[in-house]
């Protein structure tokens, strides 16, 4: 109710309908405000200069690093950063001239490092994020592993194993697997005492592996990496704590204070089975008070304070959780929607101009739209309904009254909101000066849905540039030095790529010469058509017939890399084999005969599951399978209208788009 109503209002106000509508939602808008507020902090940040000093100390034949410190006069605490350059230079000169330092204190202690708690959804996403997986990708893989029966349900708040989980039985199930040695070491412990977290619920257990073990060849590299993470997290929760030995040494160098902190892993504990936490050691040799240490080197590092870090996806989800924004099942999807709708880019997420405009408009005219209190209250109300503390009618009435108040505020300023959003939308699509008239080049979309670059001076100026057909364009910060135009990124899910300067791509195509490689299989015999390697103005490359447009035969080629035409020919098609060289450090890609390569690609696509297609998730795949479409090959041969009638929520045009991917 909230999202649909507000989305329609803002989209109509800004004149943005169709695929370019402005999306608002009771969960996504407060989340977007978090990202925008963080960006504001970064932009407002004014760095301060400071200095840090280090010295290399030597005991016998061992050298270790120590850091300069002093007592902060403001509060008496230990400080390392020197805020005055003159003071830093004076301390640096003193250290260099001292030549030696005398140990004035030595302290030793041991620290117990407890194993982590079991995985709930948020902590799983955080751990997967440290391996480089986005929140959405991590959950997609986890859901696939759950569906296959290898892990438990991945959407859970619970961090306490249920009483009916027998940890010993589960460990024994791994004894004959690649995890067998670790399982044996855990079973050899005197007792198994699993850790527990702060959240205990009864809906689902924490995420852990099941007794069904997959064949390594059944999983992709990403699936195996996530599966191993879940297995090892379970192992860690039943492992012993680790023990660290810490050594702190302070020394005096002609009145200047130095300190060194060493740490050594005495008992590996859970680190032996869970290598995802840092267990690096810092060696400081054993010294005693009164020892004299040689200063072999001194360094003065000039630094600046750093702005706040942007939210990584996992930290953003943790923040959403702490503020009761969304649920365990929706938070990662919310972030994916912000990416898909052009509100955020890059990783960590950074807001686009459109995102900042939407948040500013909401703050100025109806701040409840981006308020976490609003969505938090509605989440609490829904929980109260589930607990029988209130009724659906009461909550619906309260929500409608709140929404009515919001619309009263928005309607009074509809014209101002529309102007503000239109101005920001235009800025978000601006690339730079038109080379023909000096007006602004903008990202545009044709009536058929294809994207291109056009001049804001149209129709007086009709300058245009093509863009790749794959993905939706996004203006980047980087600017071309030759043309003063922003680079363009094409958002295409996992196949997202940087197109670069559109004018550079067009000029490169104009300057490139087609390389003939052999006869066209469609028209070579009757008309003498020849296949050639072609560079298009959109930046794409292909093998196409030199009789185009009379003959439209073509084959795709990689966008990047130098293409070598070898002297080895395909016996079947009389075409030379191609090799792609992409960087000095990468092995060349032996593409082979372009026709054979494409036929092999089509065969692989037909054998892949439906979820390999962009836009097909597990639920949609299940719907298609129930309609008799069990794989990509069956989808390619299906009647789009018939499938659309049989599958709710999927149009015939969408089916055709998937069929185009399958081909």
Which residues are part of the catalytic machinery? 153
Helix intervals (H) in 429-578: 502-511, 524-527
- For helices 313-322 and 121-130, the axis angle rounded to 10 degrees is 160
Q: Are 466 and 478 in contact (CB under 8 A)?
A: no
Q: Half-sphere exposure of residue 317, counting CA atoms within 13 Å on the CB side?
A: 28
Residue 373 has a CB neighbour count (10 Å cut-off) of 11
Query: Which 3 state secondary structure label does DSSP give 376?
Result: helix
**Under 8 Å between Cβ of 120 and 206:** yes
The single residue listed with the structure tokens 């959950």 is 139
Structure tokens at 189: 């412990």
| Strands lying side by side in the sheet with 451-455 | 430-433, 440-445, 451-455, 464-466
Residue 266 has which token pair? 């005495």
302 backbone dihedrals φ, ψ, rounded to 5°: -85, 130
Give the strands of the sheet with 562-569, arranged side by side. 562-569, 576-581, 589-592
| CA dihedral over 83, 85, 86, 92, signed as positive or negative | positive
Q: Are 372 and 323 in contact (CB under 8 A)?
A: yes
Rounded (5°) CA angle 81-83-89:
90
Q: Name the 3-class secondary structure at 512.
A: coil
The angle at the Cα of 346, spanning 342 to 347, to the nearest 5 degrees, equals 125
CA distance 160 to 197: 6
Strands 256-267 and 530-535 come out as unpaired
- 607 phi and psi angles, rounded to 5 deg: -85, -15
CA–CA distance, 25 with 32 (Å, rounded to integer) = 10
Phi, psi angle pair for 58, to nearest 5°: -125, 130
Separation between Cα atoms, residue 451 and residue 470, nearest integer Å: 9
Cβ neighbours for 191, distance < 8 A, ≥ 6 positions apart: none
Q: Look at the chain and count its residues.
A: 663
DSSP per-residue codes, 433-479: E-TTTSSEEEEEE-TTS-EEEEETTTTT---EEE--SSSEEEEEEEE
Phi-psi region of 258 (alpha: psi -120 to 50; beta: other; left: phi over 0): beta
Angle between helices 353-365 and 28-44 (to 10 degrees): 110
519: which 2 tokens? 């006869």
The two three-digit tokens of residue 98, written as one number: 């001292």
Give yes or no for a contact between 213 and 234, defined as CB atoms under 8 angstroms apart: no
């Amino acid at each position: 109710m909230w999202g649909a109503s507000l989305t329609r209002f803002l989209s109509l106000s800004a004149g943005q309908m169709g695929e370019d509508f402005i999306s608002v939602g009771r969960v996504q808008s407060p989340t977007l405000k978090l990202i925008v507020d963080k960006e504001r902090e970064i932009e407002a940040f004014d760095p301060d200069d400071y200095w840090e000093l280090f010295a290399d100390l030597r005991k016998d034949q061992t050298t270790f690093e120590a850091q300069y410190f002093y007592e902060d006069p403001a509060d008496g605490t230990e400080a390392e950063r020197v805020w005055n350059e003159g003071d830093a230079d004076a301390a640096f000169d003193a250290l260099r001239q001292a030549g030696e330092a005398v140990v004035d204190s030595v302290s030793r202690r041991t620290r117990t490092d407890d194993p982590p708690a079991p995985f709930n959804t948020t902590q799983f996403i955080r751990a997967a994020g440290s391996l480089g997986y986005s929140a959405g990708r991590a959950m997609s893989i986890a859901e696939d592993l759950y569906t296959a029966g290898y892990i438990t349900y991945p959407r859970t708040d619970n961090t306490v194993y249920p009483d009916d989980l027998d940890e010993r039985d589960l460990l024994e199930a791994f004894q004959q697997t690649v995890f067998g040695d670790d399982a044996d070491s855990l079973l050899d412990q005197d007792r198994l005492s699993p850790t527990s977290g702060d959240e205990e619920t009864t809906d689902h257990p924490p995420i852990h592996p099941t007794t069904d073990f997959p064949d390594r060849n059944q999983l992709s590299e990403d699936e195996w990496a996530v599966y191993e993470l879940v297995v090892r997290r379970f192992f860690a929760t039943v492992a012993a704590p680790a023990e660290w030995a810490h050594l702190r040494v302070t020394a005096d160098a002609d009145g200047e204070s130095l300190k060194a902190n060493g740490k050594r892993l005495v008992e590996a504990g859970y680190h032996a089975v869970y290598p995802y936490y840092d267990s690096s050691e810092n060696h400081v040799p054993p010294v005693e008070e009164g020892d004299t240490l040689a200063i072999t080197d001194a360094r003065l590092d000039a630094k600046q304070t750093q702005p706040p870090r942007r939210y990584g996806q996992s930290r953003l989800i943790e923040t959403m959780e702490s503020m009761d924004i969304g649920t365990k099942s929706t938070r990662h999807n919310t972030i994916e929607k912000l990416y898909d709708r052009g509100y955020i880019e890059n990783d960590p997420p950074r807001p686009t101009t459109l995102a900042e405009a939407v948040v500013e408009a909401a703050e100025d005219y109806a701040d409840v739209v981006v308020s976490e209190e609003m969505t938090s209250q509605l989440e609490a109300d829904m929980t109260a309904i589930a607990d029988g503390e209130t009724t659906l009618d009461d909550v619906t009435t309260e929500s409608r009254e709140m929404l009515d108040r919001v619309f009263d505020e928005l309607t009074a300023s509809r014209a101002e909101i529309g102007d503000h959003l239109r101005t920001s939308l235009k800025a978000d699509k601006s690339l730079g000066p038109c080379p023909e008239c000096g007006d602004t080049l903008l990202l545009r979309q044709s009536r058929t849905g294809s994207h291109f670059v056009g001049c804001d001076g149209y129709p007086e100026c009709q300058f245009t540039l093509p863009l790749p057909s794959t993905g939706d364009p996004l203006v980047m910060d980087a600017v071309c030095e030759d043309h003063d135009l922003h680079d363009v990124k094409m958002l295409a899910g996992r196949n997202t790529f940087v197109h670069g300067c559109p004018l550079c791509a067009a000029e490169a195509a104009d300057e490139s010469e087609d390389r003939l490689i052999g006869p066209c299989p469609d028209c070579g015999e009757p008309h003498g058509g020849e296949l050639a390697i072609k560079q298009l103005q959109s930046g794409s490359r292909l093998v196409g017939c030199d009789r185009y447009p009379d003959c439209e035969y073509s084959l795709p080629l990689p966008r990047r890399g130098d293409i070598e035409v070898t002297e080895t020919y395909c016996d079947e098609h009389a075409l030379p084999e191609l090799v792609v060289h992409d960087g000095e450090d990468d092995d060349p890609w032996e593409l082979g005969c372009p026709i054979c390569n494409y036929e092999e690609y089509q065969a692989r696509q037909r054998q892949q599951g439906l979820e390999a297609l962009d836009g097909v998730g597990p639920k949609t795949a299940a719907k298609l399978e129930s309609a008799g479409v069990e794989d990509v090959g069956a989808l390619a041969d299906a009647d789009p209208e018939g499938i659309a009638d049989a599958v709710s929520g999927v149009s015939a045009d969408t089916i055709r788009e998937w069929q185009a991917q399958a081909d």
